[in-house]
Copies of this chain bind each other. A is one copy, B any other.
Amino acid sequence: MKNYHVIFQPSGRRGHIPEGMTVLEASRLLGVGIESVCGGKKSCGKCRIRIESGTFDQHGIHSQPDHLSPFTEEDCKFIGEEDRAKGFRLACAAVIRGDVLVFVPEESRTGNQVVRKEASEKKISLNPAVRLFPVALPLPSLNDPLGDYERLVAALLERFGLQHLEMDYPALLSLPGTLRKGNWTVTAAIRMEREILAVFPGEVEEAYGLAIDIGSTTVAGYLCSLKTGNLIGTESFMNPQITFGDDVIARITYVIDNPDGMNKMRGVIIDGLNHLIRTVTGDHGLSPSDILEITIVGNTVMHHLFLGIDPHALAFSPFTPAVHRSLDIKARDLGLKAHPAANVHILPVIAGFVGADNVGVLIAEEPYRRDEMTLIIDVGTNGEMILGNREKLLSASCATGPALEGAHIRFGMRAAPGAIERIRIDPETLEVSFKIIGVERWRPEFRITGALGICGSGIIDGVAELYRAGIVDRSGRFRSDLTTPRLRLNNGKPEFVIAWPDETSLDGAITISQQDVRNVQLAKGALYAGAKLMMKKLGIEKLERVILAGAFGSYIDKTEAMILGMFPDCDLDCVSSVGNAAGDGARIALLNRDKRLEAEEMARWVEYLELTLAKEFQEEFMSAMFIPHMTNTFPHLPPLRTNKT
């Protein structure tokens, strides 16, 4: 029987699938969660997927619609003419007959309500840009025929002392009707005490905002009350741009190579965000038009692609962004379907590869208020670092690849139900224990019976534990002298079994391969080397605080990270793991407008260090590939947790 190359996006899961298997079956084999209520009986229509056409060079495969069996009657029932033309199929009805790249749209993904870019419990002092002002107006008469707008503005001046008010056009459009519907008592939503965004009939109590973190891999939205500051809901989705390239460089390349690339790239992220807005509001009994303010963070490439600005210049020296400063743009101009008058505040960027996400981390962690020499590592698909204190701050970026997020790992997956997020290996017995995401949160139609893959925090744990247990050596090579059935050969290459077939929902075991270990080494080596270079630049020998940020699944286990050598030695009590600090920053900027000014100021103050310019980088990197390092020591690592071999 022939095998074909099948890739699922946006998860990036891939494998060789025997001819004749359906796309739904293949998805299960590869641990890709596709909704199916009927279990593949072609009757529920939930498993809609899209086949992408074209040659996908980075994967080296050619995908086209007739690499699946022809369209069936059942497909017809659930897929309209227009979607059919776009390549939609039912996963359960489509039989694989050639290489295919399958895109699983958000609505067909299982477990998409589980958010691992969770919001932290940060206390944020409340000073939102948009506030509500209820006001009662005197009725107009022939002796007082003042216009509606002037009547409202006069009442707002009298009652609240608000001066020089302007009104956004959409609010003006409905003003006459609103005043009369509210019987001349209305609530004005006003931005920065200056711009009337909306007028609601009667007295309205609550206003809402949305903070969005656009990661290269995961996009998260945090719905907040602008009145209480409370986090009301969280929602995330995989960045659909991943179809066009896994990392920022691949995406820029796609835009350069494809005349329509920019539009496509921008279209899918805007569609995704609109879906997120609908979902997160709908889940809480609200509608998109309840969102009156949005804040956005993201790396510089995500920032440009979201705005629709050609990212070309970011790929070539001197890597200049189109704009550094923060931007305020109407949601309607961006194509975002929130309240039509809603403002979108996009945080500033520092440099070509140190983006608004890092500025989010900055205002969330405030190293510029600290005395201690602090290193903040934000690991997304790129690794971005900030080093310094109130005296001086340096920023830098290094290409880690997506391994630390669970991508480009054989059984890697995003942090969704079924992902292994914690791994421990007993150094004596070499037995493995692990924790799976999703036991506490599931939907009836998606019962987790076993593991589906390994997410970011799991892979960091896994490689660190392999080393600690002496299964791989300092150079990352699997030892060949161990006699555990978990260490085995696969096509002649060693791999270590984390979960046996009966512990998984796949048709086999979940393992960590030699290549997986190598990918983690490359990533962590880049981070370590970057940190060392920054320390050298600042002339410091020792870190006084390390903050690990990033949306990895659960928070990174700081001890495992130090075992791995992700960062130079530091007192473990001074190492903390903060989760998605970039998202926290977006939320902070949403709820407190003063922090936007701080962001603007700090983005300008931070000094950007271009690592590619530093000649020592390559050398540092080579040494840092070792676990935990070729020569540097980690005096603060408890002896218990070090490799005994």
Contact = CB atoms under 8 A, between A and B. Distances in A.
Interface of A: 140-151, 167, 169, 172-173, 175-177, 180, 307-310, 312-313, 317-325, 327, 329-330, 332-334, 349, 351-352, 608, 610, 613
A312 B176 contact: yes
Nearest to A150: B324
B320 A140 contact: yes
B322 A142 contact: no
A198 to B, nearest CB: 15
A169 B320 contact: no
A60 to B, nearest CB: 32
A610 B613 CA distance: 76
Contacts of A351: 145
Nearest to A321: B147
21 contacts: A142-B317, A142-B610, A145-B320, A145-B351, A145-B608, A146-B324, A147-B320, A148-B313, A149-B324, A150-B323, A150-B324, A151-B320, A169-B330, A169-B333, A172-B309, A172-B323, A173-B308, A173-B309, A175-B323, A176-B322, A332-B333
A24 B460 CA distance: 81
Contacts of A169: 307, 327, 329-330, 333-334
Counting every copy of the chain, the complex holds 2
Contact of A322 (B143, B172, B319, B349): B172
Nearest to A143: B318
Contacts of A141: 318
B321 A142 contact: no
A307 B142 contact: no
Given A173-B308, A177-B310, 8 more contacts: A142-B610, A143-B318, A148-B320, A149-B325, A169-B327, A172-B307, A176-B310, A180-B313
Nearest to A167: B323
A332 B333 CA distance: 9
A325 B152 CA distance: 13
B352 A145 contact: yes
Nearest to A323: B149
Contacts of A143: 318
Contacts of A146: 320, 324
A596 to B, nearest CB: 15
Which 6 residue pairs spanning A and B have beta carbons closest together?
A149-B323, A145-B318, A147-B324, A147-B321, A142-B318, A140-B320
A339 to B, nearest CB: 14
Nearest to A604: B150
A609 to B, nearest CB: 12
A322 B147 contact: yes
Nearest to A151: B320
Nearest to A262: B173
Nearest to A612: B142
A149 B307 CA distance: 14
A147 to B, nearest CB: 4
Contacts of A324: 146-147, 149-150
A398 to B, nearest CB: 17
A313 B139 CA distance: 13
A251 B175 CA distance: 20
Nearest to A146: B320
A351 B148 CA distance: 11
Contacts of A167: 323
Contacts of A332: 333
Contacts of A334: 169
Nearest to A309: B173
Contacts of A309: 172-173, 175-176
Given A147-B323, A322-B148, A313 B176 contact: yes
